[in-house]
């Protein structure tokens, strides 16, 4: 059985007169009657929560999800509101619901983890840019103007400006901005050079290679740089394949021992 809350709506539909209902809620003990009254209060104020959610449209989140977040903030406001302090519920609920939505954007909408300080700087810079650009076309405010408007240092403004485009990420298959040849972002990104891992080894063995006899250097060059087989090397030098194999093995062991000796 539903209880009577005596909810009287004001001319603007999303701000009902629920003062008496909240005072009654504060006196009810936990139970079905209190839960029913609580649900009726949340339902009465849902239009107000949805109105606040609509202010955040166009920021990457669907309106339906924003309304759910706003409703969660409204429930928290109903549960925490103390009518004994003499303030209207609306003055308490609006910042509570707004804060819940902003928390949702801060904690769940960033593709990459960004420090809270940078998120705050981004928001302050964004608001300042909007205010400075109001009614002005093709004119982006300077760093100094933004700093003065937002009461920030120019260094903080630059951090906030960099974060303006950090809210979401691009797919590697996305087209390269300003490119007319169909290149994707992934095609122009750099990659690790695998040869960097062998730089130290190459430089360490280089002087030892130069100190080898000319024939030994030629054999190593043909085997490891020209990728010739031992049979082809033997045929070119007029020696046996077994002799080539022994020379390669001896040279490799000698070079390794010399490098390790220097390291030790």
From the candidate CATH numbers 1.10.132.20, 1.10.540.10, 1.20.120.1810, 1.20.910.10, the one assigned to the domain spanning 8-108 = 1.20.120.1810
3-state secondary structure the chain: CCCCCCCEECCCCCCEECHHHHHHHHHCCCCHHHHHHHHHHHHHHHHHHHHHHHCCCCCCCCHHHHHHHHHHHHHHHHHHCCHHHCCCHHHHHHHHHHHHHHHHHHHHCCCCCCCHHHHHHHHHHHHHHHHHHCCCCCCCCCHHHHHHHHCCCHHHHHHHHHHCCCCCCCCCCCECCCCCCCCEHHHHCCCCCHHHHHHHHHHHHHHHHHCCCHHHHHHHHHHHCCCCCHHHHHHHHCCCHHHHHHHHHHHHHHHHHHHHHHHC
From the candidate CATH numbers 3.30.9, 1.20.1530, 1.10.287, 1.10.10, the one assigned to the domain spanning 111-169 = 1.10.10
What pLDDT score was predicted for residue 13?
62
Mean pLDDT of the chain: 83
Q: Domain map of the chain by residue range?
A: 8-108, 111-169, 197-263
Neighbouring residues of 240: CB distance < 8 A, sequence distance ≥ 6: 234
- Assigned CATH topology for domain 197-263: Arc Repressor Mutant, subunit A (1.10.10)
Span between the terminal Cα atoms of the chain, in Å: 88
Same fold flag, 111-169 and 197-263: yes
What pLDDT score was predicted for residue 8?
47
Q: Using CB atoms within 10 Å of the CB of residue 114, give its burial: 0 to 12 exposed, 13 to 18 middle, 19+ buried.
A: middle
Nearest one of 27, 9, 40 to 82, comparing CA atoms: 27
What pLDDT score was predicted for residue 166?
65
pLDDT by residue for the chain (264 residues), tens only, comes to 444 444 444 445 668 889 999 999 989 998 999 999 999 999 999 999 999 999 888 777 788 989 999 999 999 999 999 988 888 899 899 999 999 998 887 766 666 666 778 878 888 888 888 888 776 656 778 889 999 988 999 999 998 888 776 666 666 676 766 666 667 767 777 777 777 777 878 888 888 888 889 999 999 999 988 999 999 999 998 999 999 999 999 999 998 888 888 766
What pLDDT score was predicted for residue 179?
65
What pLDDT score was predicted for residue 202?
82
């Amino acid at each position: 059985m539903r209880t009577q809350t005596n909810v009287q709506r004001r001319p603007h539909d999303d701000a009902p007169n629920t003062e008496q209902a909240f005072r009654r809620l504060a006196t009810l003990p936990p139970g079905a009657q209190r839960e029913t009254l609580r649900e009726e209060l949340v339902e009465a104020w849902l239009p107000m929560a949805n109105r606040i959610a609509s202010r955040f449209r166009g920021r990457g989140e669907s309106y339906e999800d924003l309304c759910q977040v706003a409703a969660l903030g409204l429930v928290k406001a109903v549960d925490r509101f103390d009518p004994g302090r003499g303030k209207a519920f609306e003055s308490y609920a609006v910042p509570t619901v707004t804060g819940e939505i902003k928390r949702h954007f801060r904690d769940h909408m960033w593709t990459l983890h960004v420090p809270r300080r940078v998120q705050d700087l981004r928001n302050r810079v964004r608001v300042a840019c909007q205010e400075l650009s109001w009614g002005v076309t093709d004119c982006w405010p300077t760093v100094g103007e933004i700093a003065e408007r937002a009461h920030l240092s120019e260094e903080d403004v630059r951090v906030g400006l960099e974060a303006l485009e950090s809210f979401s990420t691009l797919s590697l298959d996305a087209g390269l901005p300003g490119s007319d040849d169909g290149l994707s972002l992934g095609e122009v990104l750099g990659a690790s050079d695998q040869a960097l891992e062998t730089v130290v080894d190459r430089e360490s063995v280089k002087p030892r290679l130069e100190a080898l006899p000319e024939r030994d250097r030629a054999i190593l060059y043909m085997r490891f740089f020209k990728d010739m087989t031992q049979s082809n090397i033997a045929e070119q030098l007029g020696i046996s394949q077994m002799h080539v194999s022994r020379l390669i093995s001896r040279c490799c062991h000698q070079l390794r021992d010399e490098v390790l000796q220097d390291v030790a």
